[in-house]
Structure 1
Amino acid sequence: MMRQLYVFERPHRFIAGTVGTPGERTFYLQAVDGPRVVSVSLEKQQVVVLADRLEQLLDEIVARTGTALPASDTDTEALSQPIDEEFRVAAMGLAWDGDAGLIVIEAQAPADEPEIAEETLLEDVEDGPDALRVLLEPRRARAFIERARRLVSAGRPPCPLCGQPLGSGGHVCARLNGYRRGMPLNPAE
């Protein structure tokens, strides 16, 4: 299948954002450069993993080069409109382009076969799943990490017993064998 590769080199914006209320949010990665806007949806946990892996990569770069990589100003604006989902992210890859001094982030659509995903991730090939590839300066990557962490922590608070997100009406906690706080033990009460 012919691959659609959305490439952004040093975009004006590369952010994680959400649409919806906590508990019903849809997470997006969005790259913006001039009038060009590409949005891809992903899971909250994928945002967490991307931020963690970016931080590990940046820390390794600092350790190897001895160069400080502070964050640029963090983008606090909402996602750019319109938010038209190009695809749902199935796989992500990170790389360091030492010659250009840029971090390469690629988010890829689902592949028909796992081998195809592995062969095409971070590669310039004509066939394969669609992908969003962004090349960022390290300082912009640090700003992405800060925003992503704030975004994730702005969700529903975790249950102090099981760690699962609490809804406005509580939740059925596995640690309490299904008993809900505020609910009578006997439904007839």
Structure 2
Amino acid sequence: MIAEALEKYGLKQLDPRMIEQLEAYLDLLIFWNSRQNLTAVRDRAGIIERHIVESIACAQQLTHVQTLLDFGSGAGFPGIPIAVARPEIEVTLAESQNKKATFLREAVRTLQLTATVHGGRVETLPESLTFDCVTMRAVDKTLEALPLAWGRVGRPGILAVFSTESSADRLRTALPDADWSDLKTPGQLPGGILLAGAK
């Protein structure tokens, strides 16, 4: 199903090992989601269509990125699929909610990823720590969180934000210091667009 969804949206196929890791991640997510609310999308096809496809689309557009912070990682999107598809990137998953952070640690362990889980607010990371890329997807109070995320973007670096067409202008206006553009994906993402703010 994952390979079919990637083909549907014109994305490059992943190698079989990566597909296996994403399948294991899906199994774990569905199991945990039956006990605590990690994502509102609960069916396998829906998670692939909305979450996996968008995350892989982001992973395949990132260039010159060695370190990445997934700001408010939640259930691990897009950070965990990026860690799977781009193992050369050092991924940090930041999640302040303890139950979700516990799930992320279990996912990292089960999938044998090199990603790091920061179980706390991004503000509690060392002040000097910045990243080549910071991702934001479905973060609560996104407009308020933008400056915090931007402060973690190194120079040069990018802030990659998942957005709808209707919200894109508000995001650009909220962070005028960023050089905004769309990360070009082969086709329209299921949930909207992927904005890139360069520093």
**TM-score, length-normalised on structure 2?**
0.26
Point out which structure has higher relative CO (alpha carbons under 8 A, 6+ apart).
1
* Structure with greater proportional strand content: 1
* Structure with greater proportional helix content: 2
**TM-score, length-normalised on structure 1?**
0.27
Larger Rg: 1
